[in-house]
A and B are shown apart, each in its own frame.
Chain A
Amino acid sequence: MTAKPCLLEQKKLDMNMNYIEARVSCITSIAWYSFIEALRNRLFLGVLLLALPFTAAAWNIDVYQLGFQTKFISDAGLTLISTLGLLVVLFFSLDQIIPDIERRTIYFIFTRVPSRHTYMLGRFLGIVATLFCLHVFMSGLLMLIIRLRADAWFTEIPIAGLIIFLKQSLLVSIVMLLASCTSKIITVSLSVLIYVIGHGLDIFRMLAEQSGNFVFAFLLDLAAIILPDFSLYETRIMIMHEIPAQTSALLILAFYTFSAIIFYLAIGGAVLKRRDL
């Protein structure tokens, strides 16, 4: 009498495990091929090559032969990393869902994928892997250049690279959400708009509070719940003052990023699920 339910439970557990394994396998496959696709893309190479003229410019503008300027190089380097990362986010995130829908390849993928959420998560992880490689390479290079020229390890740079990576991962999830329900041009426009608003939201809130416009401040507070707050990912003070970031603050930031990504991807998945393809 007791053996049968146990067997059933075991079978149910096995089925669940198989289901999870299949789902993870699907996500990994989609992520891997998205990553490979992004690496093979000539655009990625072009984005990386963009770094060369900028690096050369850093030497060229040293008109008065004053030598290596640590702060200037690290500041400019991180700006460059951030800009290139942003290009990768915008170009490659757009190349994930919309072309699949336009070329009808999404039907083939859906025949092998348990749900549209899985598809979205896989595509997201592919871009995040590409971004991660870019940031590791660029931050490492910047730190190495500064180590060779200034004879000091600037450990704040990889931390700043990590923070920028988290910020851009969040942006990828927003682009994926928008790409699941709108056209390319609208996706790009709205992504840029959200990116800009996300950076200035706390300033707008502060200004609204200072001016005593409580209705506007309340509306902005409401918007701040839904929209990402990119000003949290501020690395400039840390880099410029050479102050190490706190581990606890970084953990909170990672948690916030993770939650926000899951939130936007869940909405994106739900939208894609209901969309008539």
Chain B
Amino acid sequence: MIKQFKNNSTGSARLSFLLVMLMLVMALASQYTMKARHWNHYYPEALVTSLSDLALQAIPAQIKSFSAGVFRITADEYMHIGPSKKTKQNFVAGSFAGNTEIMSLLELSVILEPTNMEMYAVMSQNLAFHLNRFHDAIELLHRGILANKRSPDLHKLYMAGAYCYGFIKKPSFSSHEEVKKNRAIAVNYLNAAISSYLKNEYRLTPTMADDFANLQNYYVLQSRFLSDIGKRELALEAWNKVTAERQKSYLGHFFTMVQQKETAMPEFPDDLLTPEYKSLFQVSTIRMPYGATAPYRFWLVDSTNLYYLTIYARGLGALSLLEKDCPQHQAALEASETSIDGINDPFPKLSDCGHDHSSENEHALHQQQTTGADQDQDRDHTHISLDHVCGPECEHERHHENGEECQHCASAKSWKQAGNSVMLQGILMLTVAVLIRKFF
């Protein structure tokens, strides 16, 4: 009786389980059939033009977003690593410019998550300005615009289009007719960006604020491009919308000249900036947002390379960039006593290479490592002369072997340290294995 009851209950449990599974399958099937037939109601912003697009819609958004994030992080890592040493690649570490390795990853990221605005801007600028694929860049932006028609951030994509058209040809290198033609198109994009911004202004949250893609910058660019294409009245009108603080600039000087109807007016405002271009460079204040990575990650490589890897782990890019492309660094190394380029303390805290030049008699590596770090750590570091060339055999390199005690070098634990613990663990395991084999 009990057995029969058990059999019956097992049978009914199986049946109900199968029924639930069947219903679940039917629910999913009907849901996706509905979505496929009436996609414009479910995915009003999704571009469904082919079967693969439709298949992509069937993947849960969280999974797509996660994968896209992984691709973006990998692309960022590639950007920091830079070109391959063995093959000729025409880009540098620490910059997206001209980096061909990242493009496939970013493309995948955009396919999986078409709503990520930042990627369109990075990709389009890379394609247009560094990879000689201007039309691909514009096509990509159009794709982005179509996929984000209702997004409050849509103005950023129009802005990216305006930027591409506006600066692909420059008065210094191209014919003025060509520049004017492109900037006329750029004005259209800017108009679209401004109207999109104003239309969605109430939806913009503080987190969406962008240092570059904002209304004030749009007016500045609009006035400049309008002036370039000869519509100076409209340019002045746009310029008047720019805040008084922002008007104090070379462009402001140009428009003052326009208002005063100067006779010796340059055709482009760019012409006023020519002497300034030479001395202009940007100051980076980017600090790494993450802490030291796990020490074992580096244990397989030679300690010779720890010097480079520490720099990489600190998110400061390639050594070549830090040492060669930093004019301050070079100048400081050549003449420590004189001020750099005749400027007295131009950047007291951080320079463009991301490290502190204020105490120039410190070792080059330690300088950039100690920026922003606890100053107490400096006491552990040896101060050496400027003409010294650093190598793994140096005395002061030994502090890397302090491992976890030294915050600067926590990410660069040497193979000897990691190797010791690994060897100990190995010996312990082997001993236990022999004991098990003997007694069990």
Contact = CB atoms under 8 A, between A and B. Distances in A.
Interface in B65-111: 74, 77-78, 81, 84-87, 89, 100-101, 103-105, 107-108
A67 B298 CA distance: 31
B49 to A, nearest CB: 15
Contacts of A32: none
B379 interface: no
A119 to B, nearest CB: 14
Contacts of B433: 259, 262-263, 265-267
Interface residues of B, number: 52
B440 interface: yes
Interface in A219-257: 224-225, 229, 231-232, 234-235, 237-238, 240-246, 248-250, 252-253, 255-256
Interface in B274-309: 291, 294-302, 305, 308-309
Contacts of A237: 297-298, 300-301, 309
Nearest to A66: B100
A243 B77 CA distance: 16
Given A64-B103, A150-B87, A243-B302, A256 B426 contact: yes
Interface in A41-96: 61-64, 66-67, 69-72, 75
B2 interface: no
Interface of chain B, main secondary structure: helix
A24 interface: no
Contacts of A209: 404
A270 B298 contact: no
B86 A72 contact: no
B133 interface: yes
Given A63-B104, A266-B437, A240 B77 contact: yes
Contacts of B108: 61
A210 B430 CA distance: 31
Nearest to B126: A64
A249 B415 contact: yes
B101 A253 contact: no
Contact of B302 (A72, A246, A260): A246
Contacts of A244: 301-302
A276 interface: no
B133 A151 contact: no
B415 A263 contact: no
Contacts of A255: 423, 426
B418 interface: yes
Given A229-B425, A241-B308, A256-B423, 8 more contacts: A72-B101, A234-B300, A240-B78, A241-B301, A249-B301, A263-B433, A266-B437, A269-B436
Top 7 A-B pairs, shortest CB-CB distance: A259-B426, A263-B429, A266-B433, A152-B86, A270-B440, A259-B430, A266-B436
Interface of A: 61-64, 66-67, 69-72, 75, 117, 150-154, 163, 202-203, 206, 209-210, 224-225, 229, 231-232, 234-235, 237-238, 240-246, 248-250, 252-253, 255-256, 258-260, 262-263, 265-267, 269-270, 273-274
28 contacts: A64-B103, A64-B107, A70-B86, A150-B84, A152-B86, A202-B294, A224-B425, A225-B425, A231-B296, A232-B296, A234-B297, A234-B299, A238-B301, A241-B81, A241-B309, A243-B305, A243-B309, A245-B300, A246-B302, A252-B415, A252-B419, A252-B426, A256-B422, A256-B423, A259-B426, A263-B429, A263-B430, A266-B433
